[in-house]
């Protein structure tokens, strides 16, 4: 049951939650932790039991401030230090390291690779400590909101709240319900990935950078995880399968060396994930994390966008809840402006990555020069809410030009 506090809008009904959140992934639990920490009666409904496996293990420096704000402490079972990214082309035998410390000033100079099962559980536990009521095994089958209230239905119950946050990830509950899913057709379409135990991750020391493996068709990732585990996957713009992973990335010298003697775990395939949501918020509801937008994972932006987005969203929502104006039109206008800047930057980078020789010239080219390199590094660090990065402005400008063309899909 909700805490018995006097509700701020005169509704003293303890069955009315201040905020109901769908999904206990990083977006949902970040929102819930910040809301509950400020005394808002917050219910989170999550269909899975935790810990649960999840892909998306490489974080960016731009989320470090949110982890600090949540009071999340790194530990050796969950976190591996990440200094930057190493772009590798095995076919041309070229590689180039990018260190976050080389970015424009103002952002953290490192990030983490995480075991997502443990990381998501740690965020969940923190939200609970701060007072959120988080219930597992609760699949939300329908949800909505109007001028008067928000509501959520599970298979057995109906919950009422003053506000609804959809953080259901790629299930994108509200976007589907509102027919608001617009795919980014030009991005990666399919990912095949696996994990190894007892891998030779020590060979990646001391930097533990993520390896972005440029492939003739698409790109691959190699991520060191705690306990000598390795995450390996490949993304292409067409449907691919296990054999494709085995005969491309895993057959290359880097993976062969790192996985020698290691035990391979299950192989998984996922597809058709890149999209944006044309109805990201409305009266008494908002979406955050992947439920709002998902951009091809090549630059590891998903968890960072989920945490930053959730924090920005509740920073606007909390004063509105206190003042009973949470149903106000345009409440989240600033949130959308700032998130669209972030999405647009990554979408611009991904478009170039797939459709031009950008990767070769920027990531494997000889010398970008200090200023350009700092700008590129800031975007790679996820520091995409700033306004003084000429490289980021160039990405946003080129994207605006493309979106005015009639053939654009975004
Ligand atoms: C191949 C691939 C590689 C990736 N690599 C990276 C990476 O390296 N770095 C990175 O930052 N990101 C990466 N991502 C993206 C990252 O995983 C996501 O962006 C991130 O998990 C988003 O968090 P979220 O909280 O929005 O959603 P999720 O983490 O998906 O959480 C949503 C939660 O909602 C629950 N849920 C869904 N529907 C319902 C329902 N109806 N009722 C109740 N609960 C529900 C789900 O069980 C889930 O726990 C990758 C994604 C893919 C596909």
Give a yes or no: residue 229 inside a domain.
no
**Residue minimizing CA distance to atom 5 of ligand 1:** 56
pLDDT at residue 242 greater than cutoff 60: yes
Ligand 1 within 6 A of CB of 121 = no
Label residue 271 by pLDDT band (50, 70, 90). Answer: confident
pLDDT of 187 reads 83
Q: Is the CB of 270 under 6 A from ligand 1?
A: yes
Nearest protein Cα to ligand 1, atom 1 = 191
CATH number at residue 332: 3.50.50.60
Residue 302 lies in a domain: yes
Can you give the pLDDT at residue 12?
60
Q: Does 98 map to a domain?
A: no
| Structural domain boundaries, residue 357 | 16-54+116-184+274-403
Q: How confident is the model at residue 288 (pLDDT cuts 50, 70, 90)?
A: very high
* Candidate of 302, 304, 307, 384 to mutate for ligand 1, largest count of ligand atoms within 8 Å of Cβ: 302
Identify which of 384, 372, 353, 360 has the alpha carbon closest to the alpha carbon of residue 96: 360
What is the distance in A from the centroid of ligand 1 to the CA of 121? 13
Residue 8's pLDDT band (cuts 50, 70, 90): very low
- Is there a domain that residue 92 lies in? no
Nearest residue (by CA) to ligand 1, atom 14, is: 56
* pLDDT above 60 for 115: yes
**Sole residue written with tokens 């951009």:** 295
With respect to residue 220, please indicate whether it lies within any of the assigned structural domains: no
Question: Which pLDDT value is given to residue 402?
Answer: 67
Structure confidence at residue 403 (pLDDT): 61
216: in domain: no
Q: Is the model's pLDDT at 373 over the cut of 80?
A: yes
> Does the C-beta of 247 come closer than 6 Å to ligand 1?
no
For the segment 151-172, the average pLDDT, to the nearest whole number, is 97
What's the per-residue H, E or C state across the chain? CCCCCCCCCCCCCCCEEEEEEECCCHHHHHHHHHHHHCCCCEEEEECCCCCCCCCCCECCHHHHHHHHHHCCCCCCCCEEEECEEEEEECCCCEEEEEEHHHCCCCCCCCEEEECHHHHHHHHHHHHHHCCCEEEECCCEEEEEECCCCEEEEECCCEEEEEEEEECCHHHCHHHHHCCCEEECCCCCCEEEEEEEECCCHHHHCCCCCEEEEECCCCEEEEEEECCCEEEEEEEECCCCCHHHHHHCCCCCHHHHHHHCCCEECCCEEEECCCEEECCCEECCEEECHHHCEECCHHHCCHHHHHHHHHHHHHHHHHHHHHCCCCCCCCCCHHHHHHHHHHHHHHHHHHHHHHHCCHHHHHHCCCCCCHHHHHHHHHHHCCCCCCCCCHHHHHHHHHHHHHHCCCCCCC
pLDDT, residue 6, reads 39
- The answer to the question of residue 170 being in a domain is yes
Q: Is the pLDDT of residue 3 over 70?
A: no
* Residue 170 Cα: closest atom of ligand 1: 30
The band of 170, judged by pLDDT with boundaries at 50, 70 and 90, is very high
Number of domains in the chain: 1
Please identify, by atom number, the ligand 1 atom nearest to the C-alpha of residue 29.
Answer: 25
- Work out the pLDDT band at 255, boundaries 50, 70, 90: very high
Nearest CA to ligand 1 atom 18: 302
Instruction: For residue 71, tell me if it sits in a domain.
Output: no
Rounded Cα distance, 347 and 395, in Å: 9
pLDDT above 60 for 340: yes
The chain-wide mean pLDDT, for the chain, equals: 92
List C-alpha distances in Å: 76 to 80, 118, 166, 262.
Answer: 7, 11, 31, 21
Is the CB of residue 306 below 6 angstroms from any atom belonging to ligand 1?
A: yes
């Amino acid at each position: 049951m909700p805490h018995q506090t006097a509700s701020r809008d005169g509704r003293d009904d303890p069955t009315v939650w201040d905020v109901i959140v769908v999904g206990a992934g990083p977006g949902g639990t970040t929102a819930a932790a910040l809301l509950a920490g400020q005394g808002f009666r917050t219910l989170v409904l999550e269909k899975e039991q935790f810990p649960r496996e999840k892909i998306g293990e490489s974080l960016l420096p731009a989320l470090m401030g949110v982890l600090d704000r949540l009071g999340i402490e790194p530990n050796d079972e969950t976190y591996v230090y990440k200094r930057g990214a190493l772009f590798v082309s095995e076919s041309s035998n070229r590689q180039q390291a990018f260190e976050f410390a080389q970015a424009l000033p103002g952002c953290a100079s490192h990030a983490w690779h995480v075991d997502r099962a443990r990381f998501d559980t740690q965020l969940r536990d923190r939200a609970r400590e701060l007072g959120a009521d988080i219930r597992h095994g609760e699949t939300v089958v329908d949800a909505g909101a109007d001028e008067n209230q928000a509501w959520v239905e599970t298979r057995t119950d109906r919950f009422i709240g003053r506000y609804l946050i959809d953080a259901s990830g790629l299930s994108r509950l509200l976007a589907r319900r509102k027919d608001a899913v617009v795919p980014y057709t030009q991005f990666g379409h399919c990912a095949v990935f696996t994990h190894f135990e007892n891998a030779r991750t020590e060979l990646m020391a001391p930097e533990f950078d993520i390896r972005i493996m440029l492939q003739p068709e698409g790109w691959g990732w190699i991520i060191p995880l705690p306990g000598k585990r390795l995450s390996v996957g490949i993304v292409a713009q067409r449907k691919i399968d296990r054999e494709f992973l085995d005969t491309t990335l895993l057959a290359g010298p880097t993976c062969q060396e790192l996985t020698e003697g290691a035990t391979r775990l299950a192989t998984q395939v996922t597809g058709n994930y890149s999209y944006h949501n044309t109805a990201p918020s409305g009266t008494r509801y908002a979406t955050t994390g992947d439920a709002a937008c998902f951009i091809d994972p090549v630059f590891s932006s998903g968890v960072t966008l989920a945490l930053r987005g959730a924090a920005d969203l509740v920073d606007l929502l909390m004063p509105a809840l206190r003042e009973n104006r949470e149903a106000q039109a345009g409440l989240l206008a600033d949130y959308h402006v700032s998130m669209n800047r972030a999405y647009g930057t990554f979408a611009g980078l991904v478009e170039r990555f797939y459709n031009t020789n950008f990767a070769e010239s920027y990531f494997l080219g000889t010398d970008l020069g200090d200023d350009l390199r700092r700008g590129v590094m800031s975007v790679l660090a996820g520091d995409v809410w700033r306004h003084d990065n000429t490289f980021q402005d160039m990405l946003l400008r080129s994207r605006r030009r493309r979106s005015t063309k009639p053939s654009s899909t975004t």
